[in-house]
Structure 1
Amino acid sequence: MNKQRSPILQDANFRWLLGGGVISGLGDQFTMIALPWLVLTMTGDPLALGAVIAIMSVPRAVFMLLGGALVDRYSPKRVMMVTKYVNAALLGVLAGLVLFAPALLSLPLLYALALGLGLAQAFAIPSGTSIMPQVVPPEHLQAANGAMMGMRQLTMLAGPVLAALLIAIAGDGGAAAAATTAAGAGGLHALHAPAGAFGIGIAFAFDCFTFLFTAWTLAQVRMRAGAARPAGPPQSIFSSVGEGLMTVWRDVALRTCFMYWSVVAVFVGGAMQVALPLLASQNLHGAGSLGLLTGAHGTGMLLGMALSSAGVKLRFGGFGATLLAIDAIVALLLAPLGAITATWQGAALLLLAGSLAGFMQIAVFTFIQGSVPPRMLGRAMSIFMFIFMGLAPLSAAAIGALLKVITLAQLFAGGSALLLAISALAWWLTPMRSIGTGGLRSES
């Protein structure tokens, strides 16, 4: 009975990979809370915080394509193992400085460590998103993706709460930072980590531990028989990246989907990254409201992933038609966000939108993994992740300027109308609606 109900959990390799992913994801959330808080306690300057985020995200996006090529050359497991040790080393240094030598941690040094973390992620992300087909058989791939993404989403809900609690209890350096600011710190780049930031240091130390621990769990994973790819002729990394781009371009279904996602990321994705924090600060009740809104969206995504993993069907035709229909529904849910007057209203809308997004996210990953030859999967996944982690942040920068001439309500309404228009144009002008899970179908 158990085997019939959950065959994927009978696979020891998958259990090692899933357990490591959960622990690593939890540690990631600790750093995502601790790092911006450290910058703010050091400087109190949003511009410095933006600089740290940019230093992490821009190189990550640029080098992610090279990361995908290395994954395909050396295998996802080998690349992931190296990134775990690199991340552990960087976070160990950061934790040690905050805990034992805060006077040595200047802003330029923090920029350098952030750059190192961003570069490590550029190689960790394509390896993490392409290893699954080498661990589980094809018939269990969607269930495995659902379980992994669902647990990852769970860590994204629990991790920030646990990290914030740890930092608040153990010390966030706020008092020391306030005293430094009141006394006048001089030049911005002369600022150092404040004393008393014990909780922040422990958060970094915990993430360092999770990377070391999950390096051990990853070592227990054995690739399934027949998953190893032929090495092929020697090829330069840049040629390998070009081959990956051409592989996606030559496949009509992949090219259509990737171009559609790029347009959505540029014209809609970046706007949402900026709009939600502004909505919480201008229309609602500040950081508490933002936490509830993001929590509702995350809960919705977890619910959608759980339903998909359980085999619940949500279809409006094939894969492409379903993707466009769900995007259109999400657009309608986002439209009234700019006019809400209570946090619960936004939470309800984002819960529904997140459920649809979570459900579709598993289908998207499974579609890519099933459409690309195994030896090219690292590069294909790096291109996909580049779209959302590279293009969307670039468009977010332009939204700040746009909000000087339009209102927040107009931004949400305009973004919703734009997403509806993009999905409608993709339906009528591209082969999108004829794409199935196995690629382009001959029937419409």
Structure 2
Amino acid sequence: MTSGTERPRSRLLPDTAPWRSSRDFRLTWTSGAVTMLGSIFTMTAIPLQIAELTGSPLAVGAVGAAELVPTVLFGLYGGVLADRADRRTVALATEVALAALSALLLANSLLGTPAVWPLYLAAGLAAAVQGLQQPSVDAMIPRLVPQDQLVAAGALLSLRWSIGGLAAPAAAGLLVATAGVPAAYLVDLGTFLLSIALLARVRPVPAERDPEAPPLREFVEGARYVAHRPDLLGTYLADLAATVFALPTALFPFLAAESDATWALGLLYSASAAGSLVAAATGGWTERVHRHGRPVLLSAALVGAATAAAAVAPDLWTVLLCLALAGGGHWIGDTFRSSIWNQSVPDELRGRAAGLELLIGSAGPALGDLRAGGLAARQGIRAALRTGGLLCLGTSAVLAAALPALWRYDQRAHRPDVAPESAP
């Protein structure tokens, strides 16, 4: 039986059934959108404030180092916590902690001479808190919407990130330029307070089991579960290939300089988000795809091919088009990966699976920047783009051959309302 919200198959617009059928999903989606908006304002303000206070590019770059380790360590424990505690409670408590950190940044920015160390402290603590929070938030979704709406829910969540990634950085930059850094922190604090009010209205999402082992052993249990499922493992590896090899964010300033178009730097940063937004806005087709492993692998191939094409693009506008195509590929991969995780991972392991996803989602872009920057220093910007794109394309082909379970994955085997034998 379906939820009764099925739409005409010819439509490309996103399926809004999860919004209509689940009050708690609407609240959670809106809370996340509000939080993301405010967080982007702070992510824009912190590097700018450090640059103003120190004048050191190294000091600005150190923010990433301050964030990466806490994200990894606390994200792993956050996955265990999501399978032990009430997920709504974890999300709400960590949101309160993040609001307190925003208040700290605001207070420091209002001092006559702001200190630098609170910026690093807040960045590291915020990364740790978000590492604790994200697995619980991700693991909540399958408990908030019907089984047959999980693909649509994943598409709507990706749409949220696409809209925010495109619009929020420009708005944040404008606000900081006109009203100063404290205004950005004030906006962030206000969005957290609104988000807390929304999350407080979501029903509890308690764990469906009692903890039976120490946290480290439980994490190992979750990692062992993923390792013994080639289809699930393949989703992580495809994501890692796309971010390590074909997410050339570190090269954007140099691409703009190479084209004598520093004015286009913002366009380079937003091109991927624009492509994701177009894919999300026309993503109604995703609900009619049943073999979800195939678009995971094909989207990674698209990301690689588009990145390699950017290396030989004759002008900046073609580069932007290629980056937008890669962004659309990232959106497709994210949508179907989340569907596989939400539909096929048992609820008692879902938090730990989300913790592993957070680990890869954090490490992949950082390693990608390191790879792209190092290769560009030795062989040039275009070579770094071309090599990364071809490596991503080749890796997706290897994964398709080495992990047939992912290529054959059929979501109808995990839906009680559709018979698996009906697959063509």
Counterpart pick for 1:419 among 392, 395, 400: 392
Letter in 1 for 2:61: G
Find the aligned partners of 2:399 and 2:212 in 1 and give their Cα distance.
Answer: 39
Once the two structures are superposed, the pairs formed by residues 246-395 of structure 1 within 5 Å of their partners are 246-266=224-244, 268-269=245-246, 272-286=248-262, 288-308=263-283, 310-312=284-286, 318-340=291-313, 342-395=315-368
Find the aligned partners of 1:312 and 1:234 in 2 and give their Cα distance.
Answer: 38
Find the aligned partners of 2:402 and 2:378 in 1 and give their Cα distance.
Answer: 32
Structure 1's 259 and 341: CA in aligned 2 closer, same or farther, altered over 3 A? closer
Letter in 2 for 1:218: L
Structure 1's 79 and 438: CA in aligned 2 closer, same or farther, altered over 3 A? farther
Counterpart pick for 1:168 among 168, 172, 177: 177
Aligned to 2:199: 218
- Residue 434 (structure 1) aligned with residue 408 (structure 2): yes
1:314 CA displacement: 8.1
Letter in 2 for 1:64: G
Letter in 1 for 2:139: S
Does structure 1 conserve the Cα–Cα contact (< 8 Å) formed by 2:84 and 2:209?
yes
1:107 CA displacement: 2.2
Once the two structures are superposed, the pairs formed by residues 7-406 of structure 1 within 5 Å of their partners are 7-10=17-20, 11-99=22-110, 101-103=111-113, 105-170=114-179, 199-223=180-204, 228-266=206-244, 268-269=245-246, 272-286=248-262, 288-308=263-283, 310-312=284-286, 318-340=291-313, 342-406=315-379
Deviations 1:361-404 (A, max 9, x none): 21111111111111211110110121121243135334433322
Structure 1's 4 and 437: CA in aligned 2 closer, same or farther, altered over 3 A? closer
For these two proteins, the number of residue pairs brought into alignment is 405
Does structure 2 conserve the Cα–Cα contact (< 8 Å) formed by 1:264 and 1:422?
no
Find the aligned partners of 1:61 and 1:84 in 2 and give their Cα distance.
Answer: 19
Structure 1's 245 and 300: CA in aligned 2 closer, same or farther, altered over 3 A? same
Letter in 2 for 1:275: L
Q: Percent identity?
A: 27
Letter in 1 for 2:342: Q
1:200 CA displacement: 0.8
Letter in 1 for 2:265: L
Structure 1's 111 and 229: CA in aligned 2 closer, same or farther, altered over 3 A? closer
Letter in 1 for 2:259: N
Deviations 1:336-380 (A, max 9, x none): 323445332122222222223213321111111111111211110
Deviations 1:100-124 (A, max 9, x none): x142x32223222221111111112
Find the aligned partners of 1:260 and 1:358 in 2 and give their Cα distance.
Answer: 13
Does structure 2 conserve the Cα–Cα contact (< 8 Å) formed by 1:135 and 1:222?
no
Does structure 1 conserve the Cα–Cα contact (< 8 Å) formed by 2:241 and 2:300?
no
Find the aligned partners of 1:151 and 1:404 in 2 and give their Cα distance.
Answer: 35
Does structure 1 conserve the Cα–Cα contact (< 8 Å) formed by 2:85 and 2:206?
no
Structure 1's 85 and 252: CA in aligned 2 closer, same or farther, altered over 3 A? same
What SS does the aligned partner of 1:234 have?
A: coil
Letter in 1 for 2:231: A
Does structure 1 conserve the Cα–Cα contact (< 8 Å) formed by 2:230 and 2:403?
no
1:74 CA displacement: 0.7
Q: Taking structure 1 as the reference length, what is the TM-score of the superposition?
A: 0.84
Does structure 1 conserve the Cα–Cα contact (< 8 Å) formed by 2:242 and 2:303?
no
Does structure 1 conserve the Cα–Cα contact (< 8 Å) formed by 2:87 and 2:207?
no
Does structure 1 conserve the Cα–Cα contact (< 8 Å) formed by 2:297 and 2:333?
no
Does structure 1 conserve the Cα–Cα contact (< 8 Å) formed by 2:249 and 2:269?
no
What SS does the aligned partner of 1:131 have?
A: helix
Does structure 2 conserve the Cα–Cα contact (< 8 Å) formed by 1:320 and 1:436?
yes
1:327 CA displacement: 2.2
Unaligned runs of 5+ in 1: 171-198
Deviations 1:190-220 (A, max 9, x none): xxxxxxxxx2111111111211211110011
Structure 1's 280 and 390: CA in aligned 2 closer, same or farther, altered over 3 A? same
Find the aligned partners of 1:119 and 1:233 in 2 and give their Cα distance.
Answer: 22
Structure 1's 274 and 200: CA in aligned 2 closer, same or farther, altered over 3 A? same
Structure 1's 344 and 39: CA in aligned 2 closer, same or farther, altered over 3 A? same
Deviations 1:387-423 (A, max 9, x none): 1212431353344333222011111111122112112
Aligned to 1:189: none
Find the aligned partners of 1:403 and 1:371 in 2 and give their Cα distance.
Answer: 40
Letter in 2 for 1:118: A
Aligned to 2:417: none
Structure 1's 167 and 339: CA in aligned 2 closer, same or farther, altered over 3 A? same
1:438 CA displacement: 6.0
Structure 1's 371 and 4: CA in aligned 2 closer, same or farther, altered over 3 A? closer
What SS does the aligned partner of 2:377 have?
A: coil
Find the aligned partners of 2:241 and 2:323 in 1 and give their Cα distance.
Answer: 22
1:4 CA displacement: 5.6
Find the aligned partners of 1:108 and 1:77 in 2 and give their Cα distance.
Answer: 32
Find the aligned partners of 2:237 and 2:325 in 1 and give their Cα distance.
Answer: 26
